[in-house]
Amino acid sequence: MGFIAVGGALSVVSGLIALAVSFAAYRYLKIGDVGLLTYISLSFTFLGVGLMLQGAMSLILGLRLGNVYEDARLADFMGVTYLMVENLAYLLLVIGYTRETFWRGASSLAPLIIITPSQLRRYFLLGHLVFDASQVLSILLLMIILFEGFLLSTRSGSSFSRLVLLAFTVLLLAHVTMLYASATMTPFYYIVGELVQFASFSLLLAFLIRWYRVE
């Protein structure tokens, strides 16, 4: 199994874990009605579905199960689409943490929502620039999430908030690793980044399940 197929398989597995995170967050939301969990559930739904579709296309391409030329074009399209969905998911998390940290009303978030389309237009580019730009934006959004999450944890004193921050810190490391892989043209580090991403999703799922049982 080649690099593309391995990366695709990891994406599919990570997508399944992301959907499990979404389900766990939604299940707890039904009981506790915690606002931030709404954004976690929705964003990880986007991440999960996007990762599974992108991973499936990469598997088909890597295992040469169809027309290689047509599959490659479709895989490129799916890749760009997923990069857009990924950063939309992170933007939702930024909105969720911003709401919990600074506001309580959804109306205060309208300016953030309005700028979403203009932020996503930059991805209609070609080559490595698409991937690199996406990773840089993902890193920026995750840094905002971590900072606002830190502010929220200092105010609430919740151990769960700190555990979630740990999972997002690992996810930030995954995107830094993937950006490094692209900059150095080293497929090995991309696989490492996929594994770190999988670990971050698994950590978040474990924390949600643990929190659900404690509560």
pLDDT at site 119: 34
Q: How many domains does the chain have?
A: 1
Q: What angle do CA 125, 75, 135 make, to 5 degrees?
A: 50
What distances in angstroms separate CA 147 from CA 70, 161, 207, one per listed residue?
Answer: 43, 12, 19
Instruction: Enter the DSSP assignment of 90.
Output: H
CATH number at residue 145: 1.20.1070
State pTM to two decimals: 0.72
> Can you give the residue range of the structural domain that contains 107?
3-214
pLDDT in tens, 34-76: 577 888 888 999 999 988 988 888 888 777 776 655 556 676 7
pLDDT in tens, 163-189: 888 999 999 999 999 888 888 888 788
